[in-house]
Amino acid sequence: MLQVNLPHTLQAPGIARRSFADWLAPAVDANELGTARLLVSELVTNAVVHGHGEITLRATLNDDRLLVEVIDEGRGFELALSQQDFAGIGGRGLAIVDAEASRWGIHNGTTHVWFELERPGPSAVRQRIETAK
């Protein structure tokens, strides 16, 4: 398991990427690492831009999945409509997470966002189902 407390500064995404890569690189291939680092960067950047207080990055890895959580000291999420210029920079982080992650979501009442990446290879769940046949 990885747990890193990050400052609420513009340096947080870089610190998160480096800490995460140091932890994960020995266990996964380059493609898996690249996708995971991108998604970590997006969620930590969102916490810096929209969140409050210290940011915590947590991750666990097993044979079936990588689970990553980013938590800050904010009070949760508010749905808000905003108008953005199509050519504007930013505002697409969660769309990237949605496109690349196997699953992602938020915990209501807190500023806690998570994503999962399924691991390549046979799923332990599928193996148990096939074994039971």
Average pLDDT over residues 18-41: 96
pLDDT (0 to 100) of residue 81? 42
Model confidence over 37-91: pLDDT tens digits?
999 999 999 999 988 999 999 999 999 999 999 999 887 655 444 455 545 445 5
Average predicted confidence (pLDDT) for the chain = 84
pLDDT reported for residue 76: 65
CATH number at residue 55: 3.30.565.10
The model's pTM is 0.80
- SS3 letters across 65-122: EEEEEEEECCCCCCCCCCCCCCCCCCCCHHHHHHHHCCEEEECCCCEEEEEEEECCCC
Which structural domain range is residue 36 located in? Answer: 2-132
Domain tally for the chain?
A: 1
